[in-house]
Amino acid sequence: MSGRFGARLAEAVAARGALCAGVDPHPGLLAAWGLPADPGGLERFALTATEVLAERVAVVKPQSAFFEAYGARGIAVLERVVASARQGGALVLLDVKRGDIGSTMAAYAAAYLAEGTLGADAVTVSPYLGFEALTPALEAGKGAFVLARTSNPEGAAVQTARLADGRTVAQSIVDAAAERNADAAPLGDVGVVVGATVDPAELDLSRLHGPVLAPGFGAQGATVADLRRVFGPGLPGVLPASSREILRHGPDPVALREAVRRTQAILET
């Protein structure tokens, strides 16, 4: 797909709504679907889910770790998921959370943001070796969602720490992303990841001018009220992410489609 990620994301959300649906082949979900925790079960789960989701949501988010756990055969399934999601018309946000320096970061960008079999429209990245170390991914012409303020308790010790200028580490990441997005229209390519359950007083997102991936909606406990409390009414630029709350309704494709429809309807109320 051609064009800058921020513009394509805005178009996709306008057409299909803001829901970001995850493909997380967790062993517990495979078992709930009556599938074995092996490459065959992985393939049936992931492709069934992707075929349903990709025709209905703006963004499909495969969690790479659950594919990597099966080695080369799992990566081969992930390649098919990326292709299937694209065929269904969804943007692909590959949840890899990579972060490194120099040529290593450039190699990650080549793996996940180039036009190869794993090439996605966007990836998640970790800035904790320095925000500027992410430059190869940020300048790849695709999208990058930078971990800023995650909802896991362990993250707070680093993310809410104060810098010499008084800002939190998380706010400095948001501000660095905002600088990258300053001249883009309608949205920049650099988003941030902010959990849907965090304290809204912690971050100023007003100058971000880019998307926000908001995990925690659904199975992790966050509600639409939480989303609006954290991100404001209308949820401008926010992609609420839901994975297991939708996927638990499989393997019946009809039940999966209905779960997507209900989730989208809840977000629109």
Q: Which residues are catalytic?
A: 97
Q: Is 223 exposed, middle or buried (0-12, 13-18, 19+ CB in 10 A)?
A: middle
The strand ranges marked E within the chain are 20-23, 59-62, 91-98, 122-125, 143-149, 190-194, 212-214, 238-242
Helix (H, G, I), strand (E, B) or coil at 168: strand
Query: Are the CB atoms for 182 and 150 separated by under 8 Å?
Result: no
Give yes or no for a contact between 171 and 149, defined as CB atoms under 8 angstroms apart.
no
Question: What sections of 70-220 are H helices per DSSP?
Answer: 71-87, 102-113, 135-138, 156-159, 169-181
- SS3 of residue 20 by DSSP: strand
The residues, ordered by sequence, that sit 6+ positions from 4 with a Cβ below 8 Å of its Cβ are 141, 184, 189
Partners of 146 in beta bridges: 125, 192
Distance CA 63, CA 89 (A): 19
Task: State the greatest distance between any 2 C-alpha atoms of the chain, in Å, as a whole number.
Answer: 54
In the block, which residue shows the tokens 């990709």? 54
